[in-house]
Structure 1
């Protein structure tokens, strides 16, 4: 997780919190959090990076819609990050 950007970490948390979200659902969640538009050119390459790193799995709902889920490794990385953060936050 140390080699991810903050945006990529946020993607992991959003994917973990939703049930097999598609790209637009992830985009909407992040836009609500960041309070600004997230462009497709930023979103999808970062999702692909998480897939390439083995943290996220991409499935296909139909010809146009993909969904994303955390892998076991992705879940472990989030849990390890939370444990690390708890050392510093009371």
Structure 2
């Protein structure tokens, strides 16, 4: 996870905390926390990067909607990050 941006880490956490969220559900969740609009041009390329890195898997809910799930590798990365954070908190 060392090579991810803070936004990409946040995306990974949000996907991990939901059951097969679609892009707009992820966007809404982040906007609640960030308190500002997140544009599609920022959201989807970063989700695609996480898919390319093998941290997320993208599935098709219907012809227009994709969903995302955390891969086994992504879960291991999240757990390692939490262990690292816990040593400082």
Give the TM interval when normalised to the shorter protein: over 0.9
Alignment of 1:52-63 (within 5 A): 52-63=52-63
For residue 21 of structure 1, give the secondary structure of its aligned residue in structure 2. coil
1:75 partnered with 2:80: no
Unaligned segments of structure 2, at least 5 residues:
none
1:18 partnered with 2:9: no
Alignment TM-score, normalising by the size of structure 1: 0.98
Aligned residue pairs: how many?
89
Q: Distance in 1 between matches of 2:12 and 2:54?
A: 12
1:33 partnered with 2:33: yes
Alignment TM-score, normalising by the size of structure 2: 1.00
For residue 64 of structure 2, give the secondary structure of its aligned residue in structure 1. coil
Cα deviation 1:35-57 (Å, max 9, x = unaligned) = 00000000000000000000000
Taking only aligned residues, the RMSD between alpha carbons, in angstroms, comes to: 0.2
